[in-house]
């Protein structure tokens, strides 16, 4: 949809379309809706990022806790959001061997015990192998560093989800004309 169509959406329709750009956090697009009219995709993304940045650390951790475990029980039970299901499928987590599932569950448990929220990474930008390597690496972070890193990953996920919903801003015809 183009930005004019986005700006014309009612509050309810906006939430229906954008309610899961931040996993299971419809309050964020609800708050961002008040900033209409948006100038483009990047404007929506900036408002979401600013909202997240304005949250206290507990609010940021709340966002992280809304994310499912990678290759976790929700994936195997079919309880993931459509977006998360597709992202985990693209990263190769829907066809793991039993030993890989066991290893991911163990690492997810260790990560949550250490940080208090699930491991978050933009699965669409990584392979299964990259994700496993990154999870092991990030287990060595302190809580503040990891919270910051995980929120950065949330923003990457959001940007990709937004780009699936909103047409990219067209180039300015004045700038592209040849004199």
Inside any domain, residue 123: yes
Q: What is the pLDDT of residues 1-46, one digit of tens each?
A: 999 999 999 999 999 999 999 999 999 999 999 999 999 999 999 9
Return the CATH number at 89: 1.10.3330.10
Inside any domain, residue 176: no
DSSP string of 52-82, one letter each residue: HHHS-HHHHHHHHHTSPPTT-HHHHHT-S-H
Inside any domain, residue 84: yes
| pLDDT above 80 (res 170) | no
The Cα-based distances of 51 to 20, 78, 156 in angstroms read: 15, 30, 15
Tokens at 160, concatenated:
């990709």
Q: What is the pLDDT of residues 121-163, one digit of tens each?
A: 999 999 999 999 999 999 999 999 999 999 999 999 999 999 9
Please tell me whether the peptide bond between 168 and the residue prior to it is cis, using omega within 30 degrees of 0. Answer: no
C-alpha to C-alpha distance for 179 and 161, rounded to whole angstroms: 37
Inside any domain, residue 101: yes
Inside any domain, residue 33: no
Residue 146: which of 104, 105, 112, 115 has the closest Cα?
A: 115
- Which range marks the domain in which residue 136 is found? 68-146
Inside any domain, residue 124: yes
Burial class, 32, CB count within 10 angstroms (exposed 0-12 / middle 13-18 / buried 19+): buried
pTM: 0.92
Greatest Cα pair distance in the chain: 63
Inside any domain, residue 2: no
Strands annotated E in 62-112: none
The Cα-based distances of 171 to 95, 144, 156, 168 in angstroms read: 40, 39, 23, 9
Inside any domain, residue 10: no
* Catalytic center residues: 67
User: How many domains are there within the chain?
Assistant: 1
Length of the chain (residues): 179
What is the predicted pLDDT for the residue at 168?
A: 83
């Amino acid at each position: 949809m183009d930005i004019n169509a986005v700006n014309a959406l009612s509050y309810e329709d906006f939430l229906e379309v954008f309610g899961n750009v931040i996993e299971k956090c419809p309050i964020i697009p609800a708050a961002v809706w008040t900033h209409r009219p948006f100038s483009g995709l990047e404007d929506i993304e900036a408002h979401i990022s600013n909202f997240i940045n304005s949250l206290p650390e507990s609010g940021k951790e709340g966002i992280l806790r809304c994310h499912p475990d990678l290759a976790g029980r929700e994936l195997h039970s079919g309880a993931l959001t459509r977006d998360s299901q597709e992202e985990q499928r693209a990263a190769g987590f829907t066809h793991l061997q039993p030993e890989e599932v066991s290893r991911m569950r163990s690492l997810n448990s260790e990560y949550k015990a250490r940080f208090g929220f699930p491991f978050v990474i933009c699965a669409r930008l990584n392979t299964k192998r990259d994700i496993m390597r990154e999870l092991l690496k990030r287990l060595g972070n302190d809580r503040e560093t990891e919270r910051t890193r995980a929120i950065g990953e949330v923003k990457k996920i959001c940007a990709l989800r937004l780009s699936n919903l909103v047409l990219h801003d067209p180039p300015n015809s004045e700038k592209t004309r040849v004199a």
